[in-house]
Amino acid sequence: MTVKELASALDCKIACMPDESREITGGYAGDLLSWVMGRASSGDAWVTIMSNINIVAVASLADTACIILSEGVIPDDGVVEKATEVGVNILMSQLDTYALCASIFKLI
């Protein structure tokens, strides 16, 4: 499933989607950046409530397929610009982290 397909299946809002055809191969949830950096796999949909600029570098370096901000969180100023520049997809969901992960699990 691509990021674009996942976004529509989950009814997510799109903050930016510079790489919409990126394939999603798994998922990871977490807000501690070093945990995510060390444990998330390439191709994961990364679910977090962290909205600051540093999530862009983490997603880029851990090579996740997209960031999904849960719980209605929206990205801080400047995050979307940076993510677009480096090719990181960011989606937004109203679901809480548990419900969102459960939905992703069913879809992929």
Partner 1 sequence: MSERVNFHFEIDGENFTSAGEASVRIKKHLRDMGFSPDTIRRVSVAMYEGEINMVIHANGGSADVDVYVDRIEITLADKGPGISNIELAMQEGYSTAPDNIRSLGFGAGMGLPNMKRYTDNMKIESEVGKGTTIYMTVNV
Q: Which residues bind partner 1 (CB under 8 A)?
A: 31-35, 37-38, 42, 48, 50, 52-55, 57-58, 60-63, 78, 86
Q: Which is nearer to partner 1, 8 or 52 (CB)?
A: 52
User: In whole angstroms, how close is the CB of 87 to partner 1 at the nearest point?
Assistant: 10
Q: Which is nearer to partner 1, 7 or 100 (CB)?
A: 100
b or e along 49-73 (b: 16 or more beta carbons within 10 Å of the residue's beta carbon)?
ebbeeebbebbeebebbbbbbbeee
User: In whole angstroms, how close is the CB of 11 to partner 1 at the nearest point?
Assistant: 26
* Beta carbons of 83 and 16 less than 8 angstroms apart: yes
What is the spatial distance between Cα 89 and Cα 26, in angstroms, rounded to a whole number?
15
Q: Which is nearer to partner 1, 56 or 104 (CB)?
A: 56
Helix spans in 1-108 (H): 3-9, 33-39, 54-62, 79-86, 97-107
User: In whole angstroms, how close is the CB of 32 to partner 1 at the nearest point?
Assistant: 4
